[in-house]
Amino acid sequence: MSELQIGSIAPVFTLPASNGENVALSDYRGKNVVLYFYPKDMTTACIQESCDFRDANAEMLRHNTVIMGISLDTVKSHQNFIAKKELPFLLLTDTEHAVCELYGVWQLKKLYGREYMGLVRSTFLINAEGKLVQEWRKVRVKGHALQVLEVVQQLGARANVK
C-alpha cells in the first residue's frame, strides 16, 4: 500500500455502521469528515477520545464537518458504546481491517516484548471534495479532539476567504 499523501483523494470505502446501514465515505461528499481510528470500544483511552469528539461534535457540525469513528468492534458493540456514552455520530465496523490497511493504521505493535498486528490510534481530516487535508498518527488522546477542531475551524476560515 502506498503512503497517503496530504492533498490526494482519501481512500474510499463502505463499512457497516452503528445505525445498521452500510456507510460510504462518498456519502459525505460536500462535508468535511473527521475519521478517527481507535483500538477498542469501552476501553479507557477510547472512551476518553470518543467522549472528547462527542463534546466537540456540535462545533464540528457548525463547520460543515461530521465525525465518524472506526474500530474492529462489531456493530452491536458500537451500538452499546454509543448508548452508554451518548455518542452523537456513527461508529463504523472494520472487522477485517481492510479500511485500516487502506489508511495505513493496521501496523505491527509491541506490548511487553510481544509483537502483534493491531490498530494504531490515528485521525484523518478529509475535506468536502474528498481530499486528505490533515492526518494525526499515533495519537495521544489528551487534547487531541481540540487539536482536530482547531484545524477544522481553520479549514472553514480558509473556505470562507475563497
Mind telling me the catalytic residues?
46
Interatomic CA distance for residues 81 and 84, integer angstroms: 5
DSSP 3-state of 12: coil
Contact 9, 130 (CB under 8 A): yes
**Sheet arrangement for strand 90-93:** 90-93, 65-71, 32-37, 122-126, 132-137
Interatomic CA distance for residues 59 and 17, integer angstroms: 23
The DSSP code sequence of 71-82 is ESS-HHHHHHHH
